[in-house]
Structure 1
Amino acid sequence: MADSGWDIAMRRIDSEFDVPQFLASSLVRKIAANNFRLAATDRIKVGYLPDEVIARIQHIALESYLEAGEDIDEDILREDLWQQALTTRREMIASGELISEAEFRRRGGLTSQRLAALLSDDSVFTLEVDGVEYFPALLAVPVSQRRSVYVICRIIATAPSDARLDFLTSRRESLCDRSLLEVLKDEGGFETVSRKAAVWAAEWSRTSVKMYEGTHQTEPADIEPLYTAAADVDPRRPLWERASNALHLHGYQWPLGPYPDVRIFSLFVARQAAGDSTPIREACVQIHVDGERILIRIAAAVGTRLHSETLPRDQHESFIEIAKRIVGHLCKHL
């Protein structure tokens, strides 16, 4: 018979902590019964146990029930991940890996105004712990290294702060077990790190282009798109440049063909951050192929003047080729 989540949790707690069996059993059952969090009233009863011990037992219980095949709500899993990240950040404060603003300014000889400027343009970043912003100590580099470190930080600003820190500090086999911050000190290291940073930063945002038959102001929910293309592109690039990349880079395209002969269609551009289920709608272009002309109406676009214009048509163009040409035109002229 397979072990239950309770069985697995009890073994792991016994191997890590010197806690009486009856107490461990009670904690596991109460934690599991309360969405894998020890209720405040029960926490008071074991007030002599440190917070980090309770947090670890909660995590052990959740992992054990998952391993046993128990059905765990996704919200509980997300909360557990958040708690684990918070525990890690608290440990980083204790070890000096994260430091206060005052200490960061002291180490760098920075004024409050200068630090505010560095934060505003993403040259440095912070991690929030218990409502307080802390700075990665590794960013308090000597003056001779600041320019290169600040530039790399600006490149990777598309990602969450904890991911940025991991990107900079994780040791990589391809770099002879060194981190990117260490490589940055080498001669020619800036070129290596900046290339990797640009590719990595683009992975945190995807731009998609969808086309639907007919004239639409918003994406229709009741019909399938004629064509969808998407690519990972740095969201700080101009809107129409990103749309062009999505149509040309072959990151994702569907369907593969054959395509219908469509004369009236609407093109929508959206951007979606990694881990975010809701895309940000950025543009809508309504397109009407009328004989030798292509009538374009920009119905919505971030940072673009809404207007209509006409382009000449090539008789042999498919609607996808027309869309690529229109987006290329908008790249150059808007």
Structure 2
Amino acid sequence: MADTGWDIAMRRIDAKYDLPQFVASSLVRKMAANDFRLPAEDRAKYQMLPDEVVSRIEKIVREAYLDAGEDVGGAALREHLWQQARLARRAMIATGDLITPADFRRQIGVSETQLAALIADGSVFIVEVDGDSYIPALLAHTAHNRERLQTICRIIVPAPPMSRLDFLTSQQGSLSERRPFEMLDDARDFSLLRRTAAAWAAEWSRTSVKIYEGVHETEPGDVPPIYTASAEIDPRRPLWERASEALHLHGYQWPLGPYPDVRSFTLFVERRTAGDAMPTPDACVQIVVHGEDIGIRIVAAPGTTLMSSTTRAGNHKSLIDIAKRVIAHLIHAKRT
């Protein structure tokens, strides 16, 4: 199930502000229905929120709906919002908040090859403006612990570049309203920042596991899955670990049961990045249970050759328990 603009907005608001769910939900719906602005007549209902917080939430909601591909206000509004984003980036160039790669290299004293390596591993990131490449000047400031700042940049790679910059420079509710770039010196602050950054980065990608009755090589389009589980997980984590976490975390699962007692089924793993129209298939695993034995055949999985194996069912009797047992077996097989 694809994330809606409402889903994405609610997660991002929750990550930044300690608001009751009903308040956040009401704000999102009112803003989305009013060109991403809180109606003036409703401002008094949220008088506990400072103007800058309301403005910030409006921006979160607008970007969330754009990332979800929802054209709430029509094509004209959508184009207007993108134009605003372009103008904002141009303004950042004029104020020096975005600088050219050449200027960035001079400021931190690295070669083109060294800068390319920093960009490749996510320590530094590029922002595109009108087809040209720029780098946030923040990443070159000598006032900050650059090594730790680059560590945080590597953690938040799953997010789009401008969202990464916004994370680094905006007050975060989960950080007691502090900005991440202000938390680089103290070891305890930095430890908290790393955990917060990892959780925030995971929100940009969702791994789903779908189970269909019978043996398939491609995902059926004419029948619904008998079980679906998904969770927000960093896409850089190993495939089978992501699949296992999706099955165990219960971030989303449907239906809730009871499940049919099927002896052959196929498990499909996919991931979806916020804003992508279609998910990316990761794996197809055919599973057949014969008594105490579980036959496993991997039809497709990145970095995995076509293979078949067998493991013991043990006390794992239910559909979901067997699926978890199979994924655990594949994790172990990958490590050995």
In the superposition, the TM-score normalised over structure 1's length comes to: 0.75
CA-to-partner distance for each residue in 1:199-225, whole Å, 9 max, x for gaps? 001110000000000111111011111
Partners in 1 of 2:177 and 2:121 — Cα distance?
Answer: 31
Q: What is residue 244 of structure 1 aligned with on the other side?
A: 244
Q: What is residue 229 of structure 1 aligned with on the other side?
A: 229
Q: What is residue 192 of structure 1 aligned with on the other side?
A: 192
CA-to-partner distance for each residue in 1:249-290, whole Å, 9 max, x for gaps? 110111111111101110000000012120000100111111
Q: CA deviation at 1:177?
A: 4.3
Comparing 265-274 with 75-84, greater Cα deviation is found at 75-84
Q: CA deviation at 1:315?
A: 6.1
Partners in 1 of 2:293 and 2:286 — Cα distance?
Answer: 14
Amino acid corresponding to residue 224 of structure 2 in structure 1: E
RMSD, aligned α-carbons: 1.9
Distance 1:113 1:129, change over 3 A: same
Give the conservation status (yes or no) of the 8 Å contact 2:144–2:181: no
1:98 corresponds to 2:95: no
SS at match of 1:188: helix
Give the conservation status (yes or no) of the 8 Å contact 2:265–2:287: yes
Partners in 1 of 2:148 and 2:223 — Cα distance?
Answer: 49
Distance 1:214 1:74, change over 3 A: farther
Q: What is residue 288 of structure 1 aligned with on the other side?
A: 288
Partners in 1 of 2:144 and 2:169 — Cα distance?
Answer: 19
Q: What is residue 130 of structure 1 aligned with on the other side?
A: 130
Partners in 1 of 2:72 and 2:234 — Cα distance?
Answer: 35
1:300 corresponds to 2:300: yes
CA-to-partner distance for each residue in 1:276-328, whole Å, 9 max, x for gaps? 12000010011111122211111111111211111122366111100000001
Distance 1:262 1:174, change over 3 A: closer
CA-to-partner distance for each residue in 1:9-59, whole Å, 9 max, x for gaps? xxxxxxxxxxxxxxxxxxxxxxxxxxxxxxxxxxxxxxxxxxxxxxxxxxx
Amino acid corresponding to residue 155 of structure 2 in structure 1: I
Return 5+ residue gaps in structure 2 as ranges. Answer: 1-61, 63-70
Amino acid corresponding to residue 244 of structure 2 in structure 1: S
Partners in 1 of 2:316 and 2:163 — Cα distance?
Answer: 47
Q: What is residue 255 of structure 2 aligned with on the other side?
A: 255
Partners in 2 of 1:172 and 1:294 — Cα distance?
Answer: 47
In the superposition, the TM-score normalised over structure 2's length comes to: 0.75
Q: What is residue 142 of structure 1 aligned with on the other side?
A: 142
Amino acid corresponding to residue 78 of structure 2 in structure 1: R
Q: What is residue 218 of structure 1 aligned with on the other side?
A: 218
Distance 1:74 1:177, change over 3 A: same
1:154 corresponds to 2:167: no
SS at match of 2:165: helix
Partners in 1 of 2:230 and 2:192 — Cα distance?
Answer: 27
1:85 corresponds to 2:85: yes
State the structure with more CA Rg.
1
Partners in 2 of 1:157 and 1:250 — Cα distance?
Answer: 25
